Every structure is written in C-alpha cells, then in structure tokens.
Amino acid sequence: MAALQQIPISLQPKIPSPKAQFLHKPSTLSFSATFPSLRLASAHTRLRNPAAGARMSATAAGSYAAALADVAKSNGTLDATSADVEKIDKMFSDEGVFKFFSNPTVDLEKKRGLVDEISASSALQPHTANFLNILIEAKRTDLIKDIVKEFEMVYNRLTDTELATVSSVVKLEPQHLAQIAKQVQKLTGAKNVRIKTAIDPTLVAGFTIRYGNAGSKLIDMSVKKQLEDIAAQLDLGDIQLTV
C-alpha cells in the first residue's frame, strides 16, 4: 500500500487546558500545572479494559494536539508549529527513535538530551521542544503518531485548509500538483489546499486523489482503476490482468 511521506502513565488523570503554556525548562516541567484538565486512563485500567484504554488514548492525543495548537495560535506561530509537527512525525517514523523514547529503562535525562539535540538540528520552536519534553515526562510518547494526526485536523480546521493526498507511481512535478490543488479547491471551496504525496506502485500509472473528512472522497485516475473497470465490463471475474 502507499506509504505517506509526511510514544501508561501512573499519574493522577489530567488533559491540556486550552490556555495551558508549555514550560521552557525541562527540569521544571510540571505535568499537572501544564495540563490541569487531562483525563487519561491509568495503566491498570488499560490492562483491565484494552478497548476503554484505546478510546481514552485517542481522546488524550486529541487533547494534547488541541493544547499545542492553542499555544501556537496564541503566539502567532501556527504555520511554523505545523512545520515542526511534520518534522516530529518524520523523526518518530524512524523505528529506532520511537523505541528509544518509548523505552522505560532509558534514563529521562538522556531522552531530554536527545530532544535538545533534535530541537537544535531541526530548528524547532521552544514551545514545540518543550511539548516533546512534556510528553517524555508524562510517558506519553507512544501517542506521537496520533497527536500528529489530530494536530493536522485542528490546524486544517483553524486555517480552512483542505488536505489532499495524491498517490502516484512516480513523483509528480510541482506544476502538476499545483493544478491538482486548484481542482480540489474548486471542488471543496476551501481557502487553502495542502497536498501530501505518496508513492503507490500498485496503481500501474496515473494517480489518485483523496480528500474530504478522513480522506472519504476519492478521485481515481489510475490505470489500475481503468483495468478494473474493463475487467468488470467484460465480466472477467477473478482473472488478473498484467501490464
């Protein structure tokens, strides 16, 4: 399938307040002070009821994302924070990085030290770096990927942005992506359109565009779709066509 190019706490339950501010010194992070209204399931609860734990984790990811977006909006860095979140997403897509921060046996200071290095090399904004430190302190880096998805949705809503994922066999030229963005804007009436690209060899040729709520709408201009349509018309059933 296409691969887009785009981490249990035992603390007393607590969710980011919309007015929460991220602290600037990792050594003085206060989880309860920064997220006074967080409501997370304890490790014991998740073990007894995995389904309930999954639902609460999803709620927690949304709350973290909303808190980060609120801080970014309040200090006028929403676009820059969105760029930071994309960098974090790419960074935690590395299995080694994800395991390092998720490993409970790794010393907290070592994790903070790596965050400092990453923040410097990736030019992350101070509140984004502090946000990562808060997740580390709260043992919630397992939520990173979900937080990224939730933040993206919050960002798109705040900026009236439509996200379109374009999948193709080979990388499309910028001018082609610009044309696709214009068409999606016409279809949706959105103020802005963001394009994400994915490589999908199964399409044979052509491309697909997914947009709308959770990618619910599809424009399929792939050769694969054309072959499937031909097969259906000829009633070829399970016969597989090769190119």
pTM (two decimals)? 0.65
- Name the H helices within the chain: 31-34, 43-48, 50-74, 78-92, 95-102, 108-122, 126-137, 144-158, 174-188, 223-233
Rounded Cα–Cα distance for residues 113 and 99 (Å) = 16
Q: Are 31 and 11 in contact (CB under 8 A)?
A: yes
Question: What are the sequence ranges of the domains in the chain?
Answer: 3-157, 160-233
Residue 167 has pLDDT above 60, yes or no: yes
| pLDDT tens sequence across 42-55 | 333 343 444 444 45
- Residue of higher predicted confidence among 225 and 25: 225
- Two tokens, residue 171: 């990388």
**Secondary structure (DSSP) of 205-218:** SSEEEEESGGG-EE
pLDDT at 223: 86
Residue 21 has pLDDT above 50, yes or no: no
| pLDDT tens sequence across 91-104 | 999 999 999 998 98
Residue 184 has pLDDT above 70, yes or no: yes
Which residue in 194, 93, 82, 96 sits closest to 144, CA to CA? Answer: 93
Mean pLDDT value across the chain: 77
